[in-house]
Chain A
Amino acid sequence: MNRLLLFLGLSTGLLFSSCGDDVQDNVVINIPDTDEECCNAEETFLAYSFLNNGYVKELTELRDTIDNKYVLKVYSAGGKLHVGYNDLFFALIKIATDGYVRDFQVNDIRPLMTMTAMGMQHSTPTETETTVYNETFPAVRHAWVSFLMSSGDNGYWELSYKAAWQQKEIEHTPTVIEVNALPAGQNWLKSFKKDNQTYYLTLVNPNTFQTGNNTIQAYVSKQSADKKVPYLTAEETFTIEITPTMPDMGDHSSPNNTPLIKQESGIYEGNLNLSMTGLWNIHLVVKDQEGNIVAGGDNDNSGYSSLYWSVTI
């Protein structure tokens, strides 16, 4: 077996500067050059850089193997999970060569909360099927879970998934995971009811928000009839109008925000202006396709919708 040594120095860092800025110099990666299953050198480099850039870390409790030849690793931001939106990243690694495998599938991701005191179980808004996270490195697949609540004395979370590669399929049995509460000043998940149906509004990771104009993204998920089944994104189309305010500054607001509109991929997207750092409440008015208000029509003390996400930038 030939070994291709990649020295991740300044020059390669410049070539592939999309990520990998935080990679240490002179890390040696083994890349099998004749392995059809695995990614080529560039894809491997990008996948490695992404998964080792310090931002994502492995959730070791969700690790699994296929045939003892391949190891499936699951990553999240900081190797932790919290209430609200979480990105999950999946990578399949060939144990013999340390190469990243392409064209694998992870699906049927099932988070499940058991509420011990009440003897109840429920799931949460989830993207159950993974997709390729970034076409430039197809070795990494992505899904998301938006947890309704944190693990605690009242209950615990478990997560299971299925993975398939070529003709082999495995099932990762439910494993207990730790879901932390979000810090004060952060609230990324809200719900509303329409015709006795509960919907969830998940604000996609707002950690990149900064002073100025931001692209704001969200998902609208629908509670499943069987609450133990993950809540998938709603097929209906809504419009989510947003008004950001600063509760500590007399509900100071900003102009030129645009409503969240459903995109082809199913994600909702709009523009959010934040005029300074600090705590912002993003007040929401949800309208159906006919323009009828379905949620957020009632105002609280701020004079804006009582339905709001909170972010602190």
Chain B
Amino acid sequence: MIHIFVCKLVLGAGLSVMAVPAFSQTVQQADSVDGKEVTLSEVTVTSAIGAGRKVAGKGRAASIEEHLLQLGNVEMIRRGSYAWEPVVNNMATERVSTTIDGMKIFYACTDKMDPVTSYVESGNLQRVRLDAGLDGNPQATGNIGGSIDLKLRKAGFGARPQEYNATAGYESNGHLQVYGIDGAFSSQKVYANMGTFYRQAGNYQAGGGREVPFSQFRKVNAFLNMGWQPRQNHIIEGTAIFDRATDVGYPALNMDVSDATGLITSLSYRHEQLPGFFSRWESKVYYNHITHNMDDTGRPDVVIHMDMPGKSSTAGLYSILQGTRGNHQFQLNWDAYYNTLFADMTMYVKGAKPMYMLTWPDVGTVNSGLALSDDIILGARHSLRLSAKGSWQHRRIGNDEGFRALSIYFPGMARTATDLTGRVAVSYSYHQGGWRLSAGAGYGNRTPTVTEAYGYFLNNTFDRYDYIGNPALKNESAIEVNASASLTGHPVEARVEVNSFFFRNYIIGLPDTRLSPMTIGAAGVKLYRNLPDAQIVNATATLNWQILHWLRWENTARYSYGRENTGARLPLIAPFSYQAKCKVLWGNVEAEVGTEVVARHSGFSEKYGETLTPGYNIWHINAGWRFNLGKVRCNLHAGIDNLFNKYYSTYSDWNHIPQKGRSIYTNLTLQL
């Protein structure tokens, strides 16, 4: 099967190489046409004051997660007020690829307290790109649900010679403070931009005024981007980001984080305007390292104090060729990375020797993949997009003790695992007048994550089970079909989109009553298993109405459904939701009032430990004003979230920790 797949891949490459008609025409990326991309600059205050764009009143003062939530298919799993876990098409980290400018990066906490999006800051980013489903960005692997690429904010060549920004934000609830300064310098030969950010919050209050203990955090971030163009179109770029969060509380868990530190570096070479078949070539080498330390010393009633550090380091490279020929726009990408994950746990009992175990047994993963995509204009009204990626992966457990411990549960297990995975996707669209109809299909599979294959007694506070990885898991695969219809017109825009994922060997934890839990008070032990099949369906309908040239009304309704082979519901599938916003844009002033209505989560998954989340309705309001003070451009925003101070939690709030109550915020950005 895999062999055939690889052959197809090569064939596909051959075809796209041969099919080169003589005329030249640029093809807009399908995903940007689909509106999958939301640029962070669009949600920052600076450019927010422009028609038809998504607005987040908090601008650059907003967290990455708040920006991500502006994307259509994204939800967040929240364990506290920091480091939320993105969920795309109702699939979380295991089925979503997250890259930073194409760089692979893996979280270092066995309890998923540090999704990789937590190691960057809004001010680091230009935009966030989301490719929903199997048609991922070229560097993505294992992306069944989708792939997120965080695009870094680089000054670029030939921009304003000097530019300085300063941001300050305050949020009343939890006394959240955000400060940031950055500067950019640019010429035709050289550019550099750098900045530093600080974010701090105390405990927030839920609706009704109850304080949520252990919801504080503190974060510093600094970044540097540099570019050098020694010769026209030969570009060398380097990036470094340092990010450190300390004293981070996780009210939904029974421990906090003393520090989570990430160092992200890259060096790339880019050749633009190439003559010949490919017009652009970019190669990048990168390295990132994350250390993560959990901390339970601040918690009362700790039965056994534990140290739980985790480490993740990734070195990798990719090389991408892009070209346009005739009605084809194609790219070819090769990437490779080596990642190691190590986590252990030491438990201290009074008067006895500490107990020690490895929770991630120093797992080394080598992965290399080849990705191709081709956007083809078939005619005036038809276009087609093909994409495919094949990857080879080799994994090895580096630690003897960890290997021996896992062997207790899987006698005779192999210490290494080698897999071939891949994905193919095709989408077709037809457009006429303001109408656009699209349909797509894809097939792909993924290897189990390190947690799913080799995790060792990882306690999940959500269902209160200890989880053990299963080295005998089969790869999970999925077939995706999607369709959308949209009407772009004036004054009404409408869009309906449906996607379905049909899984084989869906990976999920199932109780094994044979095994005894390690965590005191745990309900039992779950082993990751393959379910024969499972299914996830997502549907979104959007209706936007430009009532007056300054007044716009936006509506979005979303429905999702997920079940497994026995008919039981899958966990963490969003309930029906409806969002409405009224936006005003008048000269230098913008304002928004909006509501979110979320239905009772009646389709909760009892089998997988979920309990009912009641429905809720919340309102928000914000306003922004752009003005100049001499040469300084100022953007001032203010707003209120959860206007009526409602007490609520979403279906994906870990252990139903309540969301923030009413919060009044304001922020100011100065640009010189």
Contact = CB atoms under 8 A, between A and B. Distances in A.
A276 B408 contact: no
B517 A252 contact: yes
A15 interface: no
Interface in A197-242: 210-213
A296 to B, nearest CB: 19
Interface in A283-313: 312
A278 B405 contact: no
B181 interface: no
Interface in A235-273: 245-246, 248-256, 273
B347 A211 contact: no
Contacts of A256: 408-409, 411
Contact of A278 (B355, B401, B520, B522): B355
A185 interface: yes
A279 B354 CA distance: 9
A250 B353 contact: no
A184 interface: yes
B303 to A, nearest CB: 9
Contacts of A248: 304, 347, 349, 352, 355
A275 interface: yes
Nearest to B350: A248
Contact of B353 (A255, A274, A279): A279
Given A213-B407, A213-B411, A255-B408, A249 B357 contact: no
B378 interface: no
A252 B518 contact: yes
B10 interface: no
Given A213-B407, A213-B411, A250-B520, A276 B353 contact: no
A199 to B, nearest CB: 29
Contacts of B519: 249-250
Residue from A210, A253, A273, A277 whose CB has the most chain B CB atoms within 10 Å: A277
Contacts of B517: 250, 252
A210 B404 contact: yes
B567 interface: no
B525 to A, nearest CB: 9
Contacts of A210: 401, 404
B231 interface: no
> Chain B's interface: helix, strand, loop or mixed, by majority?
loop
A254 B354 CA distance: 18
Contacts, number: 86
A251 B521 CA distance: 11
Contact of A255 (B356, B409, B518): B409
Give the interface size bracket for B toward A. 20 to 34
Given A255-B409, A276-B405, A278-B347, A250 B355 contact: no
A18 B304 CA distance: 41
B353 A278 contact: yes
A277 B353 CA distance: 8
Nearest to A245: B516
A312 B352 contact: yes
Given A213-B404, A276-B405, A278-B349, A249 B355 contact: yes
Interface string A159-193: 00000000000000000000000001100000000
Interface in B171-230: none
Interface in B514-558: 514-522
A251 B517 CA distance: 9
B352 A275 contact: no
Nearest to A253: B516
A113 B347 CA distance: 40
Given A210-B401, A212-B401, A279-B352, A250 B408 contact: no
A270 to B, nearest CB: 14
Contacts of A274: 408
Nearest to B344: A276
B520 A211 contact: no
B21 interface: no
B521 A276 contact: no
B300 interface: no
B411 A277 contact: no
A254 B401 contact: no
A277 to B, nearest CB: 4
Nearest to A250: B520
A211 B352 contact: no
A278 B352 contact: yes
B351 interface: yes
B407 A276 contact: no
Interface in B343-374: 347, 349, 351-357
A253 B519 CA distance: 11
Contacts of A253: 516
Contacts of B347: 248-249, 278
Nearest to A276: B357
A131 to B, nearest CB: 31
A92 to B, nearest CB: 39
B630 to A, nearest CB: 65
A251 B519 CA distance: 10
Contact of A184 (B351, B354, B407): B351
A286 B403 CA distance: 32
A279 B348 CA distance: 11
Contacts of A277: 353-357
Interface in B320-347: 347
Nearest to A251: B516
Nearest to A257: B408
A211 B404 contact: yes
A212 B408 contact: yes
A253 to B, nearest CB: 4
27 contacts: A184-B351, A211-B356, A212-B401, A212-B405, A212-B408, A213-B408, A213-B411, A246-B518, A248-B347, A248-B352, A249-B519, A250-B520, A252-B516, A252-B517, A256-B409, A275-B357, A275-B405, A275-B408, A275-B518, A276-B357, A276-B405, A276-B518, A277-B353, A277-B354, A278-B352, A279-B353, A312-B352
Considering the complex of A and B, which 3 residue pairs feature the smallest CB-CB distances, nearest first? A212-B404, A278-B355, A276-B357
Given A249-B520, A279-B355, 19 more contacts: A184-B351, A185-B352, A210-B404, A211-B357, A212-B401, A212-B408, A213-B404, A213-B408, A213-B411, A245-B516, A246-B355, A249-B355, A253-B516, A254-B516, A255-B409, A275-B518, A276-B518, A277-B354, A278-B356
